[in-house]
Amino acid sequence: MSKSLKYYLFARLLLAPLMIWTIITLVFLLLRATPGDPADAILGNRAPESAKSALREQLGLNQPLWLQYLIYLGQVLRFDLGSSLTSNGKSVWQIIGEHFPATAELAFYSMIIAVVIGVTIGILSASRPNTSVDVGGRLFGIITYSLPIFWVGMLLQLIFSVQLRLFPLGTRFPLDQTSPNPITGIYTLDSLLGGNLGQFSLSIYYLILPSFTLGILLSGIFERMVRVNLKQTLQADYVEAARARGIPERRILLAHALKNALIPVITVLGLTFASLLGGAVLTEVTFSWPGLGNRLYEAISVRDYPTVQGIMVFFGAIVVFASILIDLANAYVDPRIRY
Amino acid sequence: MKRIFAIILIILCLFPLTACAQKANANQVVLAVLSDPKTFNAVLSQESPNIFGLTYEGLITENPITGIKEPALAESWDISDDKLTITFTLKERLKWSDGKPLTVDDVVFTYNDLYLNPKIPNNYRDSFRIGRQGTFPQIKKLDERRIEFKITEPFAPFLDNAGVPILPAHILRKNIEKKDKEGNPEFLTVWGTDTPVDKIIVNGPYKLKEYATSQRIIFEKNPYYWKKDEKGNQLPNIEQVIWTIVESPDTSLLQFRSGSLDSISITPDYFSLLKREEERGNFTVYNGGAAFGTNFMAFNLNQGKRDGKPLVDPIKSAWFNNLNFRKAIAYGMDRERMVNNIYRGLGQPQNTQISVQSPFYNKKIEGYHYNPEKAKELLLKEGFKYNKAGELLDAKGNKIRFSLITNAGNKIREAMGAQIKEDLRKLGIQIDFSPLAFNVLVDKLSDSLDWEAHILGFTGGNEPHAPNIWYIDGNLHMFNQKPQPGAKPLTGQVFADWEKQIEDLSVKGSQELELKKRKEIYDQTQTLVSEYLPFIYLVNGYSLAAVRNRFNGIQHSALGGTFWNIDEIYVKDNE
Higher pLDDT, B28 or A8: B28
On whether both B259 and B327 belong to a single domain, the answer is no
How does residue B510 score in pLDDT terms, banded at 50, 70 and 90?
A: very high
Write out the DSSP string of B444-455: IIIII---SEEE
User: Do the chains contact at A171 and B30, CB–CB below 8 Å?
Assistant: no
- Our CA angle for A206, A207, A212, nearest 5°, is 130
Residue pairs between chains A and B whose CB atoms are closer than 8 Å: 138
Closest Cα in chain B, distance from residue A86 (Å) = 6
Tell me the average pLDDT of chain B: 91
Q: Is the dihedral of CA B38, B43, B46, B48 positive or negative?
A: positive
Query: In this structure, is residue B395 part of a structural domain?
Result: yes
Please tell me whether residues B382 and B434 are part of one structural domain. Answer: yes
Cβ atoms of A93 and A81 within 8 Å: the answer is yes
Could you tell me the pLDDT band of residue B22, with boundaries at 50, 70 and 90? very low
- The average pLDDT across A226-246 equals 85
Contact (CB, 8 A) for A315 and A251: no
Which chain B residues touch A170 with a CB distance below 8 Å? 32, 244, 246, 251, 255, 260-261
Question: What mean pLDDT is predicted for residues B33-51?
Answer: 86
Question: Closest approach of chain B CAs to the CA of A118, in angstroms?
Answer: 13
The reply to whether B162 falls in a domain is no
Interstrand relation of B430-436 and B401-407 (parallel, antiparallel or unpaired): parallel
Range of the domain at B557: 31-43+192-289+542-571
Q: Which of A68-72, A260-264, B190-194, B339-343 has the lowest mean pLDDT?
A: A260-264
Comparison of pLDDT for B49 and B340, the residue scoring more: B340
* Between B16 and B382, the higher pLDDT residue: B382
pLDDT of residue B2: 56
Give the pLDDT score at B10.
53
Q: In this structure, are B387 and B283 located in the same domain? A: no
The DSSP secondary structure of A159-170, one letter per residue, reads: IIIIIS--S--S
Residue B507 and residue B551 in one domain: no
The pLDDT > 70 percentage for chain A reads: 91
Q: For helices A92-127 and A197-234, what crossing angle results, to 10°?
A: 50
* CATH code of residue B203: 3.40.190.10
Tell me, what amino acid is at B79? I
Would residue B119 count as lying in a domain?
no
Mean pLDDT computed over A264-288: 78
Check pLDDT > 60 for residue B312.
yes
Write out residues 73-102 of A within 8 Å (CB-CB) of B: 86-90, 95, 98-99
Q: What is the band of B97 on the pLDDT scale with cuts at 50, 70, 90?
A: very high
Whether B48 maps to a domain, the answer reads: no
Which residues 6+ apart lie within 8 Å of A10 measured at CB?
A: none
| Cα within 13 Å of Cα(B55), Cβ side | 24
Please compute the mean of the pLDDT values over residues B12-37 and round it to a whole number.
Answer: 68
Q: Tell me the shortest Cα–Cα distance from A116 to chain B, in angstroms.
A: 9
Do B241 and B299 belong to one domain?
no
Question: Closest residue of B to A156, CA-based?
Answer: B254
Helices (H), A34-80: 38-43, 49-59, 65-77
Segment B73-98 mean pLDDT: 95
Which residue from B15, B121, B260 is facing A169, i.e. has the nearest CB? B260
Mapping DSSP to helix (H, G, I), strand (E, B) and coil, where does residue B204 land?
coil
Please tell me whether residues B333 and B255 are part of one structural domain.
no
- Residue B241: phi and psi, rounded to 5, are -120, 130
Chain A segment 15-54 residues within 8 A of B by beta carbon are 35-37, 40, 42-47, 49, 51
Residue of B146 and A234 predicted with greater confidence: B146
Question: Same structural domain for residues B448 and B550?
Answer: no
Instruction: Please state which of the ranges A104-113, A167-176, A269-278, B159-168 shows the lowest mean pLDDT.
Output: A269-278
* Residue B20 is assigned to a structural domain of this protein: no
At residue A36, does pLDDT exceed 80?
Answer: no
Provide mean pLDDT across the span A278-293.
Answer: 87
Measure the CA–CA gap between B504 and B496, rounded to whole angstroms. Answer: 13
Claim to verify: residue B537 and residue B563 sit in the same structural domain: no
Q: Does residue A288 sit at the B interface (CB-CB below 8 Å)?
A: yes
Q: Residue B21: its pLDDT value, please?
A: 43
Mean pLDDT of the B238-246 span: 93
Residue percentage of chain B with pLDDT more than 70? 95
DSSP SS3 for B86: strand
Instruction: Write out chain A residues lying below 8 Å of B22, CB-based.
Output: 168, 174
Give residue B337's pLDDT band: very low, low, confident or very high (50, 70, 90): very high
Instruction: Looking at the structure, tell me whether residues B197 and B342 fall in a common domain.
Output: no
pLDDT at A14 exceeding the cut of 50: yes
Residue B138 belongs to a domain: no
Q: How many domains does chain B have?
A: 2
> Domain of B513: which CATH number?
3.10.105.10
Alpha carbons A200 and A191: distance in angstroms, whole number: 5
First to last CA, chain A: 11
Q: Could you say which residues from 145 to 164 on chain B have a Cβ atom under 8 Å away from some Cβ of chain A?
A: none
Mean pLDDT on B466-479: 90
Sheet holding B216-221, edge to edge: B28-33, B240-245, B216-221, B206-212
Average pLDDT over residues B439-445: 84
Q: How far apart are alpha carbons B78 and B84 in whole angstroms?
A: 11
Q: Tell me the ipTM for this assembly.
A: 0.74
Rounded CA separation A282/A148 (Å) = 10
pLDDT number for residue B19? 47
CA nearest A135: which of A221, A49, A223? Answer: A223
B30: nearest CA in chain A? Answer: A175
Q: Give the pLDDT of residue A271.
A: 66
Provide the chain B residues 211-240 that lie in CB contact (below 8 A) with chain A.
212-216, 218, 240
B527 and B551 housed in the same domain: no
Residue B184 contacts A where some CB pair is shorter than 8 Å:
no
Of A45, A98, A204, the CB nearest to B11: A204
- Answer yes or no: are the C-beta atoms of B546 and B552 closer than 8 Å: no
Give mean pLDDT, residues B317-326.
97
Asked whether residue B424 is domain-assigned, the answer is: yes
**Domain-embedded: residue B389:** yes
Determine the pLDDT at residue B263: 96
Is the pLDDT higher at A146 or at B470?
Answer: B470
Q: Does B132 or A280 have the greater pLDDT score?
A: A280
Between CA B237 and CA B257 the distance in angstroms is 25
Q: Is A198 on the interface with B (CB under 8 A)?
A: yes
- Distance between CA B108 and CA B147 in Å, rounded? 7
Q: Do B472 and B433 reside in the same domain of the chain? A: yes
CB contact under 8 A, B260 and A176: no
Q: How far apart are the first and last CA of chain B?
A: 52
Q: What is the pLDDT of residue B17?
A: 46
Q: Give the separation between CA A172 and CA A287, rounded to whole angstroms.
A: 10
Mean pLDDT value of segment B344-356: 94
B118's CB contacts (< 8 A; 6+ apart) are B125
B503 and B368 co-located in one domain: yes
